Amino acid sequence: MTTIAVIGAGPGLGAAVARRFGREGYDVALISRDRERADALAADVAGEGISARGFTADVRDPKALEAALDAATATLGPIEVLQYSPVPHRDFMRPVLETGPADLVGPIEFSVYGPVAAVRQVLPGMRALGRGTILFVNGGTAVVPHPGRAGTSIAFAAESAYGHLLHGTLAADGIHVAQLIIPGAIIPGHPRKDPAALADTLWSMHQDRHGFRHFADDLDS
């Protein structure tokens, strides 16, 4: 079987996606900035009979991210599914009139340079397989910019544009690119925004291969 790599894996959505895809037979690479967190999460998922390993990379360090994806491929096998879903830093969310050029460096590294580095690293393997899925997960500011969260509003918009360009460009190669918008917070127990419900949505996006942008819930929720 092939591998799903979850970039920005944590105990909520990342773990739920690992379990959902793992139940379908995928090996799981969980990539996080924190080595102990990645290893503990992988061990927890592996305890349920899923093949999972933790890898370390800061998404703002393209070389580290490329190395982690290479290590995942060498350890688990070809990456067929890439999910990019790290949680933005709080300091990316400054009011627009308090946001200067230096304040946008982090968000752009996080939401543009990181995805570009990751996608370019996995594309050769997906092309060799003849198939692949790239899933971007973003908050509601990717669609409706918020004046109090300028960094993510600007950077998510750029990430969305990149993903949309890939969606049209890679379709002929059998590679499906899609985006899931999660308005507000991920909420345990919520019928549509519980981590397990979101993981089911992402699995359906991977399977159905229809359209670019999908919404976990209404934007005003």
pLDDT at 31: 98
pLDDT at 73: 97
- Both tokens of 75, joined, read 């350890």
Q: What is the CATH number of the domain that holds 76?
A: 3.40.50.720
Residue 24 lies in a domain: yes
pLDDT at 1: 76
The mean pLDDT of 192-202, rounded to a whole number, is 97
Contact 52, 30 (CB under 8 A): yes
Asked whether residue 139 carries a pLDDT value surpassing 60, the answer given is yes
- The tens digit of pLDDT for each residue in 146-192 reads 999 999 999 999 999 999 999 999 999 999 999 999 999 999 999 99
pLDDT at 91: 84
Asked whether residue 126 carries a pLDDT value surpassing 70, the answer given is yes
Work out the percent of the chain whose per-residue pLDDT is above 70.
100
Residue 132 lies in a domain: yes
Residue 220 lies in a domain: no
Identify the weakest region by mean pLDDT among 49-58, 87-96, 199-208. Answer: 87-96
Asked whether residue 15 carries a pLDDT value surpassing 70, the answer given is yes
Q: What is the mean pLDDT of the chain?
A: 96
Residue 91 lies in a domain: yes
Asked whether residue 221 carries a pLDDT value surpassing 70, the answer given is no
User: What's the CA angle centered on 88, arms 66 and 179, to 5 degrees?
Assistant: 75
pLDDT at 121: 98
Contact 38, 12 (CB under 8 A): no
Residue 90 lies in a domain: yes
- The tens digit of pLDDT for each residue in 62-107 reads 999 999 999 999 999 999 999 999 998 888 889 999 999 999 999 9
Residue 161 lies in a domain: yes
Q: Which residue is associated with the tokens 């999972």?
A: 52
- What is the pTM for the complete model shown? 0.96
Q: Distance (Å, rounded) from C-alpha 5 to C-alpha 27?
A: 9
- The count of domains in the chain is 1
Residue 172 lies in a domain: yes
In angstroms, the Cα distances linking 203 to 4, 109, 149, 162 are 11, 27, 29, 22
Residue 112 lies in a domain: yes
pLDDT at 217: 94
- What domain range includes position 169? 3-215
